[in-house]
Amino acid sequence: MWAESSRAVLDEDRYQKILGDELRRLRRKRGWTRKHLRQRLTSDISLQTLSTYEHGTRRMSVLRLVELCLAFGECPQDLIAKVHQRATRDHLTADAWKLAGLTEPHLAPLSSWATQLLHQPDPPTHFRLNLDAVGRMAQLCGMTPDDLVAFLGEHAR
């Protein structure tokens, strides 16, 4: 579980990047290229524009976001809620046993760390990682922090 941050600061760059990550994830999940996505849109959007949305370097209107969500068959409010949840996280709780059992080679540092944690006297079955720890672990695993968070959210709770 992620704890909601008590800070009232809106990190616009973080929101844009996470929104882009989520849009790219939705597209890839369907096996679409940007050309495939563009064919499903009602407005004429360039491939470069789609790329800048996915990289979080260009803002989009609410109507454009709704159009993209409809093309993916997603509810805009669900996507916005997911982006908000990711953008306001300050800690991650993960299951040490699940992490210790990871077999993906690039996740070996995470698996090794969880295994060492479980070999301590009275080991915790769950632990919390703050954003700095997530960033360091992501670097060791050759991932971005957001990709590691997404992976942990799907596999390690």
1-49 confidence digits (pLDDT tens):
333 333 345 678 888 999 999 999 999 999 999 999 999 999 999 999 9
Q: Mean pLDDT across the stretch 95-121?
A: 91
Quote the CA–CA distance of 52 and 48 in Å, as a whole number.
6
Percent above pLDDT 90 for the chain:
54
| Tokens matching residue 56 | 């979080």
Q: Residue 92 in 3-state DSSP?
A: strand
Residue 1: the pLDDT is 31
| Cα three-residue angle 114-123-118, rounded to 5 degrees | 30
Please answer whether residues 119 and 100 qualify as being in contact, where contact means their C-beta atoms are separated by less than 8 angstroms: no
Q: Residue 51 in 3-state DSSP?
A: helix
Instruction: Sketch out the chain's domains with CATH numbers.
Output: 10-86 (1.10.260.40), 90-155 (1.10.10)
At residue 151, does pLDDT exceed 70? yes
Closest CA to 84 of 155, 5, 30, 31: 5
pTM of full prediction above 0.75: no
| Tokens matching residue 36 | 């495939």
Quote the CA–CA distance of 55 and 7 in Å, as a whole number.
25
